Amino acid sequence: MAERDLEWVKVLETGELTEGRVKPVTCHRATVCMTHYQGRFAALDNRCPHQGGPLGEGSIENGWLRCPWHGWDFHPTSGDSPGGHDDGVDSWPVQVREDGVYVGFEVPDAHAATVSDVMARTFTEWGIRWVFGMVGHSNLGLADGLRRQTMVNRLRYVGIRHEGAAAFACSAYGKLTGRPAACLAIAGPGATNLLTGLWDAHVDRSPVLALTGQVDTQVIGRGAFQEVDLKAAFGGVAVFSADVQRDSDHAELAARAVKTAILQDGVSHLVFPDEVQTIPSDARPKGPAGRIVQRTAVPDPAQLQPAIEAIAHARRPCIVVGHGARFAMDQVVALAEALKCPVLTTFKAKGQISDHHPLGCGVLGRSGTPIASWFMNEADLLVVLGASFSNHTGITPKKPIVQVDRDAQALGKHHPVEHAVWGEVGQATERIREAVQSGHAAVDHTAEIAQRWQIWRQEKARRLTEGRGQGVSSVAVFEELARAVPGDAIVCVDVGNNTYSFGRYFEVAGQTVLMSGYLGSIGFALPASLGAWAATQEEGTPWHGRQVVSVSGDGGLGQYLAELTTLVAHDMNVVHVVLNNGELGKISKEQRAGSFDVWQTDLVNPSFAAVAEACGALGIRVDTEADLAASFARALAHEGPALVEIMADVTLI
């Protein structure tokens, strides 16, 4: 090829590579092994033909360039093998100029679309806007397809430090928006690291798209390095799982995966064998037009009418809302206002009605308030909307129950209910309100609700005075945090005593709360904040521009502490509040309750504020209750990630 057909690229400075040495150099997308031997420079293919070993990391021994993996030899300037066989490596032309060493590369052809390109574009057509993940050796072709979508602003990518954080971020994003984001991992341990976060999504019915690399098809079943039967590993957690094969309808497979995640509120999983990812493809991406509809299941009047009559005749009806009602709260609140009846929430539904609403009564159950439990016990009918009857919530089966849910399996799941209604919560409550607003027997609960709140707030004020001088109490933390956090903030909550205290003491104004509900996974909060932050970057959505706050104990933060660097890398405006008491306090409490000795619950912690500073975030340490307000204000005013470390009293929860 004539020199004018080559693109000459400077790869070495003059004197950079000394006699007898080798060095790998990446130019555009090609990595070459540069050698300097007997006064000559050469540029050889960096991949050993045996198993792809990096020749540029090898050395010249006895006149031969030796591969660092298995010792194959090549001539340092020609690339020939010792016996002159066909096992040599290719070379590129080299010029030594006054200012350095240049290599001549053929001008690359225009990019030819691959399987990964077609599938990545299909993902974006179906509304995938974010990918959280880690690029590695068995997903490089897929990663390049995703990269090309980021280059044209159809997709945004967040590189994380642990794949579990990617899955939790997607789970939180799905809980908040009702739409899936994607998580990316390599084969083997990268894929299995996703599983905890994906189980969180599965049990809380959050849509997620999981994309995992896999070893080459030809070595599957032979015990190859990092080979795991991924369809089997994901079998219990995924509502859809498929291998991307050479002859698959790749666009259809991508479309089906996203569609299933959306319609079944679950995890879809695609497995990409390494060699399939870069197969050329001229297939067209497939979008959702004509393939998906808004789900508005209208209740059967035969089911709904008896429920309406029961509600209309109840004197003390009480509404209990769960996470499944989160997108129908306008209709739920309108029904409550028509009846002037109390509204209680499950813990997972905390914040779906403001604690300052005249009919809001806070959380019911182990993480709740005595207000909610009072009204459940005094009710003559429970109207349960989108709740799962978790044992942590403790909805009593001793009261007559009207239950509405779009999941037919959830209706009467643990015990019979008097009136089961299948359908969308919003559709059902709107029809109930229309039917009862002209006449019902319910008494006005407004004054009684205000009275119960006054009693509880007096109790909280008493608890504020009970400090022992051994750290800040949780009631002080969450009373002050509730005053400081913007009313439309998104708050991601972890698992542990900090969570119970948040449920009791943080009075929600209009904030949205995200948590690991059914799975109850410690470590959820910080990676969840990544997903919540992503949603706040989407213009034209209800979440755009909102503040994100995450809350954990020291045990939870320790699980994903490195994701502080992810916050910094993407300049995420997230404030993390950590209660540091040097102990897995919830476990100690459970050991005592079970008459066990307290054992192995103490923690050796760093200064989390100092770690945050070392990572490039703002770190603030709080030792006294008096410093809370100023510390929260400073963190929330900071542009970028901030961490507030509160030295907490483990007994004051």
Of 415, 448, 481, the residue at which a domain comes to its end is: 448
Q: Is residue 427 part of a domain?
A: yes
Q: Indicate the residue type of 536.
A: T
Q: What is the CATH number of the domain that holds 13?
A: 2.102.10.10
How far is 142 from 101, CA to CA, in rounded Å?
A: 34
Distance of CA 267 to the CA centre of its chain: 12
Regarding whether 128 and 52 lie in a shared domain, the answer is no
To 10 degrees, what angle do helices 140-151 and 115-125 make?
A: 50
Do 191 and 308 belong to one domain?
A: no
pLDDT tens per residue, range 567-596? 999 999 999 999 999 999 889 999 999 999
Map tokens 């010249």 to a residue. Answer: 60
In the predicted structure, residue 184 carries a pLDDT above the cut 90: yes
Residues sharing a CB contact under 8 Å with residue 21, sequence separation 6 or more, in sequence order: 35, 36, 60
Q: Are residues 119 and 235 in the same domain?
A: yes
Residue 259 phi, psi (nearest 5): -60, -45
**Which residue from 263, 317, 264 is spatially nearest to 294, judged by alpha carbons?**
263
Q: Kindly report the three-state secondary structure assignment for every residue of 136-159.
A: CCCCHHHHHHHHHHHHCCCCEEEE
Say how many Å lie between the first and final Cα of the chain, rounded: 76
Alpha carbon 103 to its chain's center: 44
Neighbouring residues of 552: CB distance < 8 A, sequence distance ≥ 6:
493, 494, 496, 498, 523, 525, 526, 576, 577, 578, 579
Query: Which of 261, 276, 291 is the C-terminal boundary of a domain?
Result: 276
Distance (Å) of CA 308 to CA 298, 299, 345, 397: 15, 12, 21, 20
In a domain, 281, yes or no: no
If asked whether residues 592 and 544 sit together in one domain, one would say: yes
170 and 97: one domain? no
499 and 613 share one domain: yes
Query: Are 120 and 95 within one domain?
Result: no
Which parts of 394-445 fold into alpha helices (H)? 425-436
Whether residue 316 sits in one domain with residue 423: yes
Q: 375 pLDDT band (50/70/90 cuts)? A: very high
Average pLDDT over residues 554-575: 97
Which structural domain, as residue segments, surrounds residue 161? 115-276
pTM of the model: 0.88
Are 54 and 128 contained in the same domain?
A: no
Total domains, the chain: 4
Residue 266 maps to a domain: yes
The average confidence (pLDDT) of the chain is: 94
| pLDDT, tens digit, 9 for 90 and up, residues 293-349 | 877 888 999 999 999 999 999 999 999 999 999 999 999 999 999 999 999 999 999
Q: Residue 254's closest CA among 216, 209, 206?
A: 209
- Report yes or no on 412 lying in a domain: yes
pLDDT digits (tens, 9 = 90+) for 229-285: 888 889 999 999 999 999 999 999 999 999 999 999 999 999 999 999 999 999 999
> Do 207 and 356 share a domain, yes or no?
no
Domain match, 543 and 601 both: yes
CA-CA distance, 382 to 376, in Å (whole number)? 7
Tokens of 15: 């004197």
Report if residue 459 sits inside a domain: no
CATH of the domain at 364: 3.40.50.1220
